[in-house]
Structures are given as structure tokens and as C-alpha cells.
Amino acid sequence: MADAVLVVEDDAALREMIAQQLHLAGFAPATAPNGYEALNLLRMGFPAKLILLDLKMPIMDGWAFRAAQRRDPDLADIPVIVMTARDATGIDAAAVFHKPFDGQEIINAARALCATYVRRRPGVAFHRSIEPEQRT
């Protein structure tokens, strides 16, 4: 099964180019144009083993996304590679690539991170007890 990678980038052409490169390299990419939509995808169950994250985006930038991701115990352990043209000092990321970057370097980093990633997400079983009046 292909490793799922979430590409979070507001530049549509760059976002699709990265997703295509990931697909051709054997990954299963999904995309989001901002951090808000990325969080929604992850919370709906997209099984990302890696997040490629731009920092400067509308609605929710990469800094705010990363803060929200780290606060969510179901998402906090997913590694992040930052892709930015800006200063990334202080961002907690497995790697930082400055734009323009070599796509093959990102593919290589993605392979290495996905190969070592083990989901520590706690399993949460949904259980709803049936009240006596609901039983048939």
C-alpha cells in the first residue's frame, strides 16, 4: 500500500506539481490549499504518514496549522517537511526546504521519513451503550 502524504500549499500549480511527483514516486498524495482544509482532511481520517507544509498561506498559515496539529493528540506525531521561501527559524519540522527546491530531494526525504514512521496515534474505539428502552 502506498504511503499517504498530505501536500499543504496555496500555490495551485506548485501543489499539483508536488502531488504529481509524489504519485509518480509511488506515494498516495492528497492536497489542501491552506492549513484549515488540511486539518479538516486529517480529522476526517486521511491516513497521512507525512505532511509537506508551506508556511505562508491564506486562511490558516503553516505556523498556525503546525500549532493546531501539535495540540491534537491524534495528529501530533505526523512528521512535517516545511517548504518555504521565508525564514523557518523556530518551526518544529523534520526537515525544511527553501523554495525553489529540488523535487527529488523532497521525494528522498519523504521516503526516509515514511520508512521510519510508526503511528503512535492512540486507538479510540467508538462505543455507544444501548439504553434499555432502545433494545428490541
Q: So what's the pLDDT on residue 127?
A: 30
Query: Which pLDDT score is estimated for 37?
Result: 97
pLDDT at residue 120, as a whole number = 62
Q: Which residues contact 61 (CB under 8 A, 6 or more apart)?
A: 34, 35, 55
* CA 114 – CA 116 distance, rounded (Å): 5
| Tally of domains in the chain | 1
Whole-number pLDDT of residue 116: 86
pLDDT at 99: 87
pLDDT (average), residues 22-44: 96
Of all residues in the chain, what percent carry a pLDDT higher than 70? Answer: 87
* pLDDT exceeds 70 at position 69: yes
| Domain residue limits at 110 | 4-134
CATH number at residue 114: 3.40.50.2300
